[in-house]
A and B are shown apart, each in its own frame.
Chain A
Amino acid sequence: MKTYWKKNQQRLAPWLFLAPGIAMFAIYVIIPIFQSMSISLYAWDGLGEKEYVGLSNYVELMDDDAFYTSLKNNVIWLVLYMLAIPAGLFVALFLNQTVRGIRIYKSLFFFPFVISQVVVGLVFSWFYDPNFGLLNIALQAIGFDPIAVLADEDWVTYGIIAAGLWPQTAYCMILYLTGLNAVDPEQIEAARLDNAKGFKMLWYVVLPQLKPATFIAMVVTVIGALRSFDLISIMTDGGPWGSSRVLAFYMYEQAFSEYGFRMGYGAAIAVVLFLIMMVYITAFLVKMYRDERGL
């Protein structure tokens, strides 16, 4: 026994150290994925007997308008949420200066990220309120008709995304601020000598050095967009008539909400959401792999 350990120590040790992590990851991530896939083949209310229904949950999904609305909204979220990255960069560049009290300004800009999403949702609900909301007071002051953003099926998703961008921009800003600290002053100096300034300086000298920050910002923003749930739940509860749902919210509604408890159908939505994420995760992994190999 002892000799076996001695002989294979080098080979076994890494696995031993990895074991707790692997076990956790398997129990809380890998196994539930397969469980979801298997539940999606059943009709089940979470209480009684499961009934095997094959792919009929997916067939129903293909014919479900609410599903397509959610899918469309998910795409809108993914695209528009990306605005947080340039916005965060802009704010970071703006704040990256040494004036008196800059730390206070930085923390103020970071503030929306610290407060809970629920609070952000409430603040924006009041902001959009058709009667006393600031937005409509402002709109009326410059002669427009008031818009009930959260009660209008065409505006509602954009309204919620705008609320989500507020904390997300702060997040990206802090990533870029840390990135900017690591920018090599010598390269800036050299670029100055070569007469680079303004946008060219930013694009060719600063941004390439911020690449790691941009990468992380993108990762957290995509994840943030795909898991957008709390804002929708607080601001509209998916409404009006379901037009602000995204897949994560629709899954929750079908599986766990007051009128839901269709575990199979919810699981089917979760599987679709997983597949969408998979596209992105694969791209992410490919990139990581290439970076590791120094390509």
Chain B
Amino acid sequence: MFHRTKTLAAAVATSTLLASSLFAGELVINTDTSDPAPKAAFEALIAGFEAENPDVKVTWNLFDHEGYKTSIRNFLTADAPDLANWYAGNRMLPYVNAGLFEPVDDVWAEHGLNESLASAKGSMTIDGKIWGVPYTYYQWGVYYRKDLFEANNIAVPTNWDEFKAAGATLTAAGITPITIGTKYLWTAGGVFDYLNLRTNGYDFHMALTKGEVAWTDDRVRATMANWKELIDAGFFLENHAAYSWQEALAPMVQGDAAMYVMGNFAVAPLREAGLTDDQIGFFQFPVINPDVPLAEEAPTDTIHIPANAKNKEDAKKFLAYLARADVQTQINNTLGQLPINSGSSVGDDKFLQAGYEMLSSTTGGIAQFFDRDAPAEMAKAGMEGFQEFMVKPERLDAILERLEKVRGRVYK
């Protein structure tokens, strides 16, 4: 019995207690950027900052990605660092509401960020104040096997009928049109976001995630009906509920599946698995309703100053440094993502260029992601419902009613 006393509490109590006696000029940064590319990007970022500010010594605590989501709650209240990374939109709302983040309007005003970071200002603003500095974002869309498309004479689909036709051709050739792994749910959220953005548009999508529209609304049903068309046509990988998003990459690499509705971070593992840039392509999610302006999904990552930080002065210096055009160019080249600063340049990578082109011409609006736009509890219930719908589409009514019940409780 003893060996199994590894209980739930242990998982929660993994708060790293940091040295609380700090001398002036020491800057503590907590991040969850533990994957190779983000880690290298932050190493360079911190080294650059220290070189320009020799009087500041940076202490950097690196957390693992999953653990960070619970640790941040502990360290923000108990022993706050001077800076911590997090996400824009509704994901930062609980900390803003609890008074754990510091508004940084002054940094924005002083360094002209209102102009240079204008595109992300909306998602950084809550209650009329700005709560952090965004440093990177990346596009979502459809990543596909170019060689499989060519082998089956399929042109890149731009509208719903072409998309469905492409799927039919692929299915006939024994290839699953779209691979997906929904074990951790959020991948299904991405598909829903795009279907809803294309069917009903950005404003409706935002109203839905803000809880202003009923889940049983006919417009939601229209989105789900479009989704059902794909499900009935056998678009999605079988048994997707058993796979994580990484595991679902395998069929695409092996040539058994042709498309993946994903964020740009999927490119790196596809390349590592041996696909060349001639084999991987990217296209914008096709138009469903031609009357709806195209909106895209592009989650933004951010850095914040905790309200309990000890060295806010240097923290603000760091934010100003992070917001600079040249710094954002450099960090995003390492990350393989897109800079927020309008003066930054985008890397040569063809996917970054494609994403940049798509996002800078987007007129319909930019969504963060289902679980960042909707509050946590709604997001969880929603994505669980989407997963169930993808396997048991006949339960649509029960699922929507369940979500409506959650909506009634979450948004008060």
Contact = CB atoms under 8 A, between A and B. Distances in A.
A129 B242 contact: yes
A254 to B, nearest CB: 9
Contacts of A224: 4
Contacts of B219: none
Interface in B6-20: 6-8, 11-12
B70 A230 contact: no
Given A60-B409, A239-B241, A240-B387, A230 B6 contact: yes
Contact of A151 (B66, B242, B376): B242
B387 A46 contact: no
B402 interface: yes
B238 interface: yes
A261 B239 contact: no
A65 interface: yes
B101 to A, nearest CB: 11
Interface in B51-100: 66, 69-70, 73, 76-77, 94-95, 97-98, 100
B240 interface: yes
A47 B185 contact: no
A48 B70 contact: no
A251 B239 CA distance: 27
Contact of A256 (B12, B94, B241, B387): B12
B32 interface: no
A117 B4 CA distance: 9
B371 A241 contact: no
B1 interface: yes
A117 B409 CA distance: 36
Interface string B373-393: 000110110001101100100
B184 interface: yes
A54 B387 CA distance: 34
B4 A227 contact: yes
Contacts of B242: 128-130, 148, 150-151
Interface in B356-412: 371, 376-377, 379-380, 384-385, 387-388, 391, 402, 409
A179 interface: no
A236 B185 CA distance: 11
B92 to A, nearest CB: 12
Q: Name the residue among B4, B182, B184, B377 with the largest chain A CB count within 10 angstroms.
A: B4
Given A239-B185, A260-B376, A47 B388 contact: no
B371 to A, nearest CB: 7
B153 to A, nearest CB: 28
B73 A46 contact: yes
B183 interface: yes
Contacts of A248: 8
Contacts of A262: 377
A48 B97 contact: yes
B183 A256 contact: no
Contact of A261 (B73, B77, B371): B73
Q: Which of A151, A220, A230 has the most CB of B within 10 A?
A: A151
B241 A151 contact: yes
Contact of A258 (B240, B376, B384): B376
Interface string A208-234: 000000000000100110010110000
B376 A261 contact: yes
Contacts of A220: 1
Contacts of A260: 376-377, 380
Contact of B98 (A48, A151, A223): A48
A204 B126 CA distance: 74
A260 B371 CA distance: 12
A262 B97 CA distance: 15
A224 B384 CA distance: 28
B239 A130 contact: yes
Contacts of A65: 402
Nearest to A46: B73
Interface string A31-47: 00000000000000111
A236 B239 CA distance: 13
A252 interface: yes
B158 to A, nearest CB: 33
B8 A229 contact: yes
A188 to B, nearest CB: 31
A237 B1 CA distance: 24
Interface string A148-169: 1011000000000000000000
Nearest to B70: A256
Nearest to B74: A46
A151 B392 CA distance: 12
Contacts of A117: 4
Contacts of B239: 130, 148, 151
A252 B8 CA distance: 7
Given A48-B98, A60-B409, A240 B241 contact: yes
Contacts of A48: 94, 97-98
Contacts of B69: 258
Given A48-B98, A258-B69, 19 more contacts: A45-B94, A150-B241, A151-B241, A220-B1, A223-B1, A224-B4, A227-B7, A239-B182, A239-B183, A239-B241, A240-B387, A240-B388, A241-B385, A252-B8, A252-B11, A256-B70, A259-B380, A261-B94, A262-B377
7 contacts: A150-B241, A150-B242, A223-B1, A227-B4, A236-B183, A240-B387, A252-B11
The 7 residue pairs across chains A and B that have the minimum distance between CB atoms: A259-B380, A148-B239, A151-B241, A241-B388, A151-B242, A240-B241, A47-B98
